[in-house]
A and B are shown apart, each in its own frame.
Chain A
Amino acid sequence: MIPALIVFAYLSIVLYIGIFAFRRGKESGEDFFLANRGLGQAVFLLSLFGTNMTAFAILGSSGLAYHRGIGVYGLMASSSGLVIPLTIYLIGTRLWALGKRFGHMTQVQFLRDRWECGAIGTFLFAITAGMLIPYIVIAVMGGGHTLETVSAGWVNFEVGGGIVALVVMGYVFFGGMRGTAWVNTFQTVLFLCFGMAAFVLIARGLGGLDQIMDSMVSNPKTSPLLTRERIAPAEFFSYMFIPLSAIMFPHISIMCLTAKKVTHFKKTVIFYPLCIMAIWAPCVYLGVVAASQFPGLKPGETDNVLVQLLTQHTGLLVSGILGAGIMACVMASDSQIMALSTMFTEDIFVYYGGKQRFGDRMQVWTGRAFVVGIALTAYLIGIALKNKAGIFEIAIRFAFSGFAALSPIMIAALFWKRSTKWGALAAAIWVMVAMIGTWVLFEISAPTGPSAGGPPKPFPVFPELGNLFLRTPGNVTVYGFLAVFPMVIGSTLLMIIVSLLTKPPSQATLDKYFPPKGQVRGWAR
């Protein structure tokens, strides 16, 4: 009961932060959706990082490490530590500069202007918005699981998920991007502070980590978890492509537009890998430790092993505070909801004349109405999917791979003068078809499930095609590589080939984004 009350107190604080931001804000689109492009260094770094640290990172990583071992850190955390700051450095800074100069507030606005396209931009909006929904659903599910565990069942999954959805909806509705950034900053600081405390307290509660590790090494059922035996090399390699998704996630790219100065990006990209390590390393490690404490759990049951460790090995008060810390990361869906609201308002409402007809104030209220709709939809999907699939797997299959495979479109728009809207359309259609195809192959093939004590055994989906499509417990691979690898290669090739075969935008547009040598570059001034 006490931990649950602490978590509720925490939820009240974040709701208040959102309302406080509401009082500081103005009723203009730029202020509500982008915090007036005025975030300072610390808030920018912590909110950008917090935006990417979600239920997937905390609950999904420890749940997956429970089954597959310490390699989960290398799979996504260390690769993200290089690829995400690199893409923010190369792409995020350019988007910021172009947004500052031309007033873009979303990716689609930039792409429409860069390639002189309307309907194709709407198509890209539909794809990205569709792929963002699962991310928000994951947060609702994570919130439901966390509240249910922290309150020892007093608050059930459905009510817990509903409370989380309501609170997030509340502070995004009132505070807009400013409220979202402030809450994200508060949450990130909270988690960084208490994450280490959780690690130390759980280690002490377990009687020392040395003994646990020694017993795990000597046990043939758990010793593979201390290595990468349960991860195939081709799969490990494929995961290097997943972090390309980060800059294509609308909430990340929109967040890049909120910095007051371009120099705020400098410290952000340097500290990003260290922040990832500070959060992921304890989560993965404790997920492996949990395998020795709660043996025999199935994939759908391991998303809350971290919370279980907390409640078993720390006092009630500490458990509640740390539960609030976990909730902080679970609730990172706020920026996704904010991004979807911005996209709908700017890419649909404003683009199709809504702002001209109804004015700036109505633009903000349209965004707010969309926040309510998205939160409600995510909650209903989350409840319907309860216990149907692990958090991590949903995220990977539906969002990460798709966004990663869209990254060549953004790279081409920014750096390749000859790229065209038709190349972008071909690449986007390929991504959509590949995602649907992977999902169909996944659904028609029976799951193998984790084999007891050994690595999961993949099997061919179509035996007559050999190892072309292999079914693993959580994925369908192509010759052992995750679908993201051929998806990125395919979208890159289509972007290049179709662009070369079609007509580029007008010279005026090219001069706007790629001025002749000797003149100021498109993203400067």
Chain B
Amino acid sequence: MKYLLAIVVLIVALLHQDVWFWKDKTLVLGFLPIGLAYHMGYSVLAALTMWALVRFAWPAEFDEMEPPRP
């Protein structure tokens, strides 16, 4: 799972270089430049990536450090 997630992180990092919208002046919803809309979507993708890392690749030894619940 960790290797799969490492590949996912790499792909997400590569998706940051969106050369396809470089000179595109299209306005999404009439007011949002498409280059900005793409990178706002990218921020959401980054949050989902971090969720996946926390959910599936959280180091088990960290949980041992938690104080016992009363």
Contact = CB atoms under 8 A, between A and B. Distances in A.
- A and B: interacting chains: yes
A277 B23 contact: no
Contact of A210 (B30, B47, B51, B53): B30
Interface residues of A, number: 51
Contacts of A112: none
B22 A266 contact: no
A227 B58 CA distance: 38
A240 B13 contact: yes
Contacts, number: 131
B36 interface: yes
B35 to A, nearest CB: 5
B31 interface: yes
Interface in B3-58: 9, 12-13, 16-19, 21-25, 27, 30-33, 35-36, 38-40, 42-44, 46-47, 49-51, 53-54, 58
A438 B34 CA distance: 34
Interface residues of B, number: 41
Nearest to A218: B25
B5 to A, nearest CB: 11
The SS class assigned to the A binding surface is: helix
Given A89-B53, A210-B30, A233-B19, A266 B35 contact: no
Contact of A79 (B16, B50, B64): B16
Pick the most buried of A212, A227, A523: most chain B CB atoms within 10 A of its CB.
Answer: A227
Contacts of A357: none
B61 to A, nearest CB: 4
Contacts of A236: 17
Contact of B47 (A223, A270, A281, A525): A270
Contacts of A520: 61, 64
Interface of B: 9, 12-13, 16-19, 21-25, 27, 30-33, 35-36, 38-40, 42-44, 46-47, 49-51, 53-54, 58-59, 61-67
Given A266-B54, A269-B54, 8 more contacts: A74-B39, A74-B42, A78-B16, A78-B43, A82-B46, A236-B17, A261-B67, A524-B65
